Amino acid sequence: MPVCTAAAVLLFIGAGWYCLSLCLLAAGAAFHRGDPQVRTALLALGGLSLVSGGNGGSVALVTAASLSGLWVSDSPVSRTAFAACVMTALPEGSVENLVPLLPSAALAIPLRRTWQRGGLIMAGMASVMLLGGIPGASSPNEARAVENAGTAATSWYHSVPLDLSSPVLLLERGEDGAGILRIRCSAGGVRDAGTVAAVLSGGEEVLIDMGTDTLELAAPEFPVRIEIVRDWRPFNHPVVHFLGAEVLNADD
Amino acid sequence: MRMIDGLPDIRRGKVFHLLGAATVFAAWRLTGMPAPGTLGRLLPLAWAVTAVVHDGSRESAASRYLLGLFLLLSFVWTVSPVIPMLAAAIALTALVPSLLSVSGRRYGIIMAVLPLLPLVLVLVPFTGDEPHYARITESLFPGSGGEFAAFAAQSGDPVEGISHHQMLYPVLLLPGYPLGIQGLRVVNLAFAVAAAWILSLLLRDSGCVRWERLAVLGLFLMPGGGVLGLVYPGWLALLLLLLGVLLHRRHGGWLAVSVAALLLVLLKIRFIGISAGLFLALTLEYRGRRRWLMPLALSAAVAAGLLFDLIILGGRVFWVRYGNPAFLMTLLVQPLYRMPELLLSLIGTLVDIESGLLWRAPWVLAAMAGIPVLRREDRSLFRWLGLPAICYLLFLVYWAGYNWSGSPTPSGRMLLPVLPLLIASLGRVWSNRGTRLLVWISAGIAAAHFCSPELRFNHADGMDAMVSLLAGPSSGIHPWLPATVRASVPVFSLWTAVAVSMSLLIYRNSRYSETFAAIVLALLCFLGSTTRRVWQAEDLPPSMVHGCRPYPGEDDPESRKYWMFSRQRMLEMDEEGDLVSLPLPSGADTVSVRIGCRIPPGAHPGGIRAACGPWSDTLYGSSILLEPPKWATLIREVRLEPRPENLSGMTWELEVPAACGSLLVGTVEGSAVYLDYVSVGH
Residue A7 binned pLDDT confidence (cut-offs 50, 70, 90): confident
Query: How far is Cα B483 from Cα B49, in angstroms, rounded to an integer?
Result: 39
Which residues, at least 6 apart from B356, have a Cβ–Cβ distance to it below 8 Å? Answer: B348, B349, B350, B412, B482
Residue to substitute from B96, B442, B529, B554, interface A, most A β-carbons within 10 A: B529
In this structure, the answer to whether residues B491 and B562 fall within a common structural domain is no
Torsion of CA B352, B356, B360, B366, to 10 degrees: -110
Across B281-303, average pLDDT: 86
- Chain A positions touching B441 (Cβ under 8 A) are 44
Cβ contact, residue pair B75, A236, below 8 Å: no
- pLDDT of B361 higher than 90: yes
Peptide bond into B585 cis (omega under 30): no
Domain containing residue B652: 535-680
What is the chain A residue with the closest CA to B666? A174
Across B641-653, average pLDDT: 90
Q: CA of B524, closest CA in chain A: separation in Å?
A: 8
Q: CA of B348, closest CA in chain A: separation in Å?
A: 24
Asked if residue B204 belongs to a domain, the reply is yes
Choose the closest CB to B80 out of A60, A72, A238.
A60
Q: Which residues sit opposite B612 in a β-bridge?
A: B615
Residue A252 binned pLDDT confidence (cut-offs 50, 70, 90): low
Query: How far is Cα B573 from Cα A242, in angstroms, rounded to an integer?
Result: 26
Q: Looking at chain B from residue 233 to 262, which residues have their Cβ under 8 Å from any Cβ of chain A?
A: none
Cβ contact, residue pair B577, A174, below 8 Å: yes
Q: CA of B494, closest CA in chain A: separation in Å?
A: 20
Total structural domains in chain B? Answer: 3
Cβ contact, residue pair B1, A115, below 8 Å: yes
Choose the closest CB to A147 out of B35, B61, B542.
B542
In this structure, the answer to whether residues B363 and B430 fall within a common structural domain is yes
Residue B661 binned pLDDT confidence (cut-offs 50, 70, 90): confident
Ramachandran angles phi, psi of A220, nearest 5° = -70, 145
In this structure, the answer to whether residues B234 and B297 fall within a common structural domain is yes
CB proximity A192 to B under 8 Å: no
Query: How far is Cα B651 from Cα B593, in angstroms, rounded to an integer?
Result: 10
Residue A174 binned pLDDT confidence (cut-offs 50, 70, 90): low
In this structure, the answer to whether residues B378 and B460 fall within a common structural domain is yes
DSSP, collapsed to helix, strand or coil, labels residue A163 as: strand
Across A128-138, average pLDDT: 88
DSSP per-residue letters across B180-229 = HHHHHHHHHHHHHHHHHHHHHHHHHHTT-TTHHHHHHHHHHSTTTGGGTT
Query: With pLDDT > 70 as the criterion, what percentage of chain B qualifies?
Result: 97
Which residues, at least 6 apart from B562, have a Cβ–Cβ distance to it below 8 Å? Answer: none
Q: CA of B472, closest CA in chain A: separation in Å?
A: 7
In this structure, the answer to whether residues B187 and B319 fall within a common structural domain is yes
pLDDT of amino acid A164: 92
- pLDDT of B323 higher than 80: no
Cβ contact, residue pair B80, A118, below 8 Å: no
Choose the closest CB to A50 out of B36, B472, B529.
B529
Neighbours of A231 (CB within 10 A): 12
Side chain identity, residue B88:
A
Per-residue CA distances from B482 to B134, B332, B340, B359, B486 (Å) = 35, 28, 15, 10, 8
- pLDDT of B605 higher than 80: no
DSSP per-residue letters across B545-578 = EES-EEESS---GGGGTT-SS----EEEE-STT-
- pLDDT of B3 higher than 80: no
DSSP, collapsed to helix, strand or coil, labels residue A182 as: strand
Residue to substitute from A37, A159, A176, interface B, most B β-carbons within 10 A: A37
pLDDT of amino acid B6: 57
Residue B149 binned pLDDT confidence (cut-offs 50, 70, 90): confident
Q: What is the pLDDT of residues A10-31, one digit of tens each?
A: 777 777 888 888 889 999 998 9
Across B10-25, average pLDDT: 92
Residue A36 binned pLDDT confidence (cut-offs 50, 70, 90): confident
What is the chain A residue with the closest CA to B28? A235
CB proximity B531 to A under 8 Å: no
- Determine contact, residues A105/A124, Cβ cutoff 8 Å: yes
Query: How far is Cα B496 from Cα B358, in angstroms, rounded to an integer?
Result: 10
DSSP, collapsed to helix, strand or coil, labels residue A153 as: coil
pLDDT of amino acid B671: 82
Choose the closest CB to A40 out of B437, B528, B547.
B437
Q: CA of A41, closest CA in chain B: separation in Å?
A: 9
- CA angle, B349 then B352 then B353, to 5°: 140
In this structure, the answer to whether residues B495 and B539 fall within a common structural domain is no
Beta strand pairing call for A195-201 and B650-657: unpaired
Query: How far is Cα B191 from Cα B224, in angstroms, rounded to an integer?
Result: 12
Burial label for B370, CB within 10 Å (0-12, 13-18, 19+), is buried
- pLDDT of B95 higher than 90: yes
Which is nearest to B355 in space by CA: B325, B400, B319, B315?
B400
Q: Looking at chain A from residue 61 to 100, which residues have their Cβ under 8 Å from any Cβ of chain B?
A: 61, 63-65, 67-68, 71-72, 95
Residue to substitute from B2, B41, B78, B478, interface A, most A β-carbons within 10 A: B78
CB proximity A247 to B under 8 Å: no
Q: Within its chain, how far is the Cα of B25 from the centroid?
A: 31
- pLDDT of B4 higher than 70: no
Residue A248 binned pLDDT confidence (cut-offs 50, 70, 90): confident
- Chain A positions touching B470 (Cβ under 8 A) are 48, 51-52
- pLDDT of B581 higher than 90: no
Q: What is the pLDDT of residues A135-171, one digit of tens each?
A: 988 887 777 776 665 555 667 877 889 999 989 998 8
Cβ contact, residue pair A38, B73, below 8 Å: no
Asked if residue B61 belongs to a domain, the reply is yes
Q: CA of B33, closest CA in chain A: separation in Å?
A: 6
The CATH number of residue B557's host domain is: 2.60.120.260
- CA angle, B347 then B350 then B354, to 5°: 105
pLDDT of amino acid B276: 94
pLDDT of amino acid B547: 78
Ramachandran angles phi, psi of B373, nearest 5° = -70, -40
Asked if residue B110 belongs to a domain, the reply is no
What is the chain B residue with the closest CA to A239? B34
How close are the terminal C-alpha atoms of chain A, in Å? Answer: 65
Who wins on pLDDT, B200 or B324? B200
CB proximity A152 to B under 8 Å: no
The mean of the pLDDT values for chain B is: 89
Side chain identity, residue B483:
A
In this structure, the answer to whether residues B272 and B358 fall within a common structural domain is yes
Most confident of A238-252, B393-407, B435-449: B435-449
Q: CA of B627, closest CA in chain A: separation in Å?
A: 30
- Chain A positions touching B546 (Cβ under 8 A) are 147, 149, 172-174
A-B C-beta contacts closer than 8 Å: 195
Query: How far is Cα B28 from Cα B340, in angstroms, rounded to an integer?
Result: 50
Query: How far is Cα A108 from Cα B548, in angstroms, rounded to an integer?
Result: 55
What is the chain A residue with the closest CA to B84? A165
Cβ contact, residue pair B77, A134, below 8 Å: yes
Asked if residue B529 belongs to a domain, the reply is no
Residue A32 binned pLDDT confidence (cut-offs 50, 70, 90): confident
- pLDDT of B144 higher than 70: no
Q: Which residues sit opposite B617 in a β-bridge?
A: B610
Q: Which of B449, B477, B499 is the last residue of a domain?
A: B499
- Chain B positions touching A122 (Cβ under 8 A) are 71
In this structure, the answer to whether residues B256 and B302 fall within a common structural domain is yes
Choose the closest CB to B76 out of A64, A114, A146.
A64
Q: Which of B69, B102, B135 is the last residue of a domain?
A: B102
Peptide bond into B142 cis (omega under 30): no
Choose the closest CB to A236 out of B32, B65, B73.
B32
Scanning B600-677, the segments in alpha helix (DSSP H) are: 630-635
CB proximity B353 to A under 8 Å: no
Peptide bond into B44 cis (omega under 30): no
pLDDT of amino acid B5: 57
Asked if residue B402 belongs to a domain, the reply is yes
Cβ contact, residue pair B80, A165, below 8 Å: yes
In this structure, the answer to whether residues B156 and B210 fall within a common structural domain is yes
Q: Looking at chain B from residue 443 to 502, which residues have their Cβ under 8 Å from any Cβ of chain A?
A: 444, 470-472, 475, 477
Query: How far is Cα A11 from Cα A14, in angstroms, rounded to an integer?
Result: 6
pLDDT of amino acid A251: 57
Which is nearest to B75 in space by CA: A109, A128, A43?
A128
Q: Within its chain, how far is the Cα of B71 from the centroid?
A: 30
Burial label for B444, CB within 10 Å (0-12, 13-18, 19+), is buried
CB proximity B396 to A under 8 Å: no
Q: What is the pLDDT of residues B199-217, one digit of tens each?
A: 999 999 998 888 999 999 9
Q: What is the pLDDT of residues B461-487, one digit of tens each?
A: 888 899 888 888 888 888 899 998 888
Ramachandran angles phi, psi of B55, nearest 5° = -80, 0
Query: How far is Cα B420 from Cα B238, in angstroms, rounded to an integer?
Result: 8
Asked if residue B515 belongs to a domain, the reply is no
Residue A122 exposure: Cα atoms within 13 Å on the Cβ side:
13
Q: Which of B102, B137, B170 is the last residue of a domain?
A: B102
Q: What is the pLDDT of residues B171-192, one digit of tens each?
A: 999 999 889 899 999 999 999 9
- Chain B positions touching A114 (Cβ under 8 A) are 1
Q: What is the pLDDT of residues B528-553, one digit of tens each?
A: 888 888 888 888 887 788 878 888 88
Asked if residue B115 belongs to a domain, the reply is no
Cβ contact, residue pair A38, B65, below 8 Å: yes
Q: What is the pLDDT of residues B42-73, one digit of tens each?
A: 999 999 999 999 988 888 899 999 999 999 99
In this structure, the answer to whether residues B201 and B282 fall within a common structural domain is yes
DSSP per-residue letters across B11-80 = HHHHHHHHHHHHHHHHHHHHHT-S-TTTHHHHHHHHHHHHHHHS--PPPPHHHHHHHHHHHHHHHTGGG-
In this structure, the answer to whether residues B323 and B414 fall within a common structural domain is yes
Q: Please give the sequence-ordered ranges of beta strands (E in DSSP) within B584-657, or none if there are none.
A: 590-598, 606-612, 615-621, 650-657
Q: How many helices (H) and strands (E) does chain B have?
A: 27, 11
Query: How far is Cα B537 from Cα A157, in angstroms, rounded to an integer?
Result: 19
Residue B109 binned pLDDT confidence (cut-offs 50, 70, 90): very high
Across B268-290, average pLDDT: 91
Neighbours of B521 (CB within 10 A): 18
CB proximity B573 to A under 8 Å: no
Q: What is the pLDDT of residues B21-49, one digit of tens each?
A: 999 999 999 999 999 999 999 999 999 99
pLDDT of amino acid B357: 94
Q: DSSP assignment, residue A142?
A: E
Beta strand pairing call for A168-171 and A142-144: parallel
In this structure, the answer to whether residues B252 and B356 fall within a common structural domain is yes
Domains of chain A: 2-137 (no CATH), 142-248 (2.60.120.340)
